[in-house]
Amino acid sequence: MEVRVRYAPSPTGLQHIGGVRTALFNYLFARSQGGKFILRLEDTDRSRSSEVFTRNLYNTFAWLGIHWDEGPDTGGPAAPYVQSERFSLYRKHAEELLAQDNAYYCFCAPERLDQIRAEREASHSPETGYDRHCRSIPREEAARRAASGEPCTIRLKIPLGERTVFRDQLLGDIEWKNDDVNPDPVLLKSDGFPTYHLANVVDDHLMGTSHVLRAQEWLPSTPLHVILYRAFGWEHPEYCHLPMVMGQDGKKLSKRHGATSVDEFRRQGYLKEALINYVALLGCSYEEGKDLYTLEELAERFSLDKLNKAPAIFDYKKLEWYNGLYIRMKTNEELAALALPYAVEQGLFGYVMREPSGEQRELFKSAMVLVKERALFLKDIPGKLRYIFTEPVVPAASEFIPKKSTLPAARELLTMGRELTTPITEAETTEAAEAAVKAFAEQKGLKLGDLLMPLRVAITGERVSPPLFGSIRLLGAARSLARIDRALVVLA
């Protein structure tokens, strides 16, 4: 049997972490089994579906590097892959269920349904859903009324007094009383639009879906889908309901926990490799003692029997750790290319959205070595390097003074630092420059930190900054000395 899995989002919102995790697991399973990964757009909710969200879906997965084998933009043997283009199929199959007496016409007006709901609420009745009022209408009469144009829906006949049993690849055997299933749900609305349940089952069958991997929040819908499959006389796919993704508070991950849409993570400067690596570990294990995986390595190792039943906890700190690791794995040229859009947006090269000159571009690339070891997010890199591209404001004199020292001492230390600046820029390597300055401090009986504090503030404008020696060498002797002389005026 060929493995065929699908990601079937509704284009009614931005792609979020939970949806991406579902798509990723389906993708990895398909690749691990040599199968097909399919994208299907479930856009039957016309009031909320938007082309904006469809574009966001395409952009998100293009950025992540996750590609489907069949889909709206690639085509395939089961086209079309957009539900709004398949309405004739849904009506045809709903009518098949009518002919088999597994569905019936319902003529209840929305006002009647609202009245039933209100009466139940008023009486605190435990009953929910439709009261099956039209189920007893003779088929001939119902067909005649529908043919005459009387507004109606088509509802599924849930077998009464029975149980629906199916096996879940992760959770094991699931048994559900039919009395607890949504009572005779609507399959086809009065306007001809299918409901989610009908479209989902028909599409999965016609597209040859072999396995359905989806979040456990969909588990209550599965008995209904199994009943629908059996009403058609079809075999249902293998089901695997993935563990939920929760926040640190044990509640379903949502905006209150922080960023959840992939766009938000991208804006904050996360790398796609970090996001994929971390999300792939939410509820799944791969190899003992290994933390970093490429997308290809994840696909090689993915298996349904490595999934965890317990909910996965989304740890932002762990994701940050992954992001920092992947930033450090980039070459200076790669990191500069990734961080450059943030630098342009933040006005690092003169004003907001100004592109760098060739010289600025090279300087920006060279400066990556200063921030790579400590950077956690791409968006933070330009701010850490602003002193390289813009002359910093000279801070107040108090900022130059080392702990437990004085202003005259700070002025003397900065004067010493000035004499060391040219040798720092002329040293063969940064390491050689550091060794020479350390030897100088020992010779003078000075703490290295005290010696460098006034120099650091003069060069960068901050008491805490990227590596000082690398900064001086990148700025060059002339620019560095000019900054020191400006600072000495403040300390005079």
Catalytic residue numbers, as ranges: 255
Rounded Cα distance, 402 and 456, in Å: 11
Nearest to 68 by CA among 26, 123, 11, 129: 26
DSSP assignment of 323-381, as one string?
HHHHHHHS-HHHHHHHHHHHHHHTTTTSSTTPPPPHHHHHHHHHTHHHHTTT---GGGH
148-171 exposure pattern, b = at least 16 Cβ within 10 A, e = fewer: eeeebbbbbbbeeeeebebebbbe
How far apart CA 464 and CA 19 sit, in angstroms, is: 40
Beta bridge partners of 165: 175
Tokens 């956690």 belong to residue: 376
- Cβ contacts of 345-349, under 8 Å, gap ≥ 24: 346/379, 346/382, 346/383, 348/382, 348/385, 348/386, 348/389, 349/389
156 close to 184: Cβ distance less than 8 angstroms: yes
C-alpha to C-alpha distance for 475 and 17, rounded to whole angstroms: 41
Rg, Å, the chain Cα set: 32
Inter-axis angle of helices 407-426 and 430-444, nearest 10: 140
Tell me how far apart the alpha carbons of residues 306 and 180 are, in angstroms, rounded to a whole number.
Answer: 31
Helices 272-280 and 51-64: angle between axes, nearest 10 degrees = 90
Tell me how far apart the alpha carbons of residues 417 and 460 are, in angstroms, rounded to a whole number: 14
Say whether the peptide bond before residue 402 is cis (omega within 30 degrees of 0).
no
**Strand ranges of the sheet holding 211-215, from the earlier edge strand across to the other edge:** 172-177, 163-168, 238-242, 211-215
| Contact yes or no for 477/421 (Cβ under 8 A) | yes
Tell me the C-alpha distance between 91 and 97, whole Å.
Answer: 10
Reduce the DSSP state of residue 175 to 3 states and report it.
strand
Of 249, 186, 243, whose CA–CA distance to 217 is shortest? 243
CA distance 371 to 330: 12
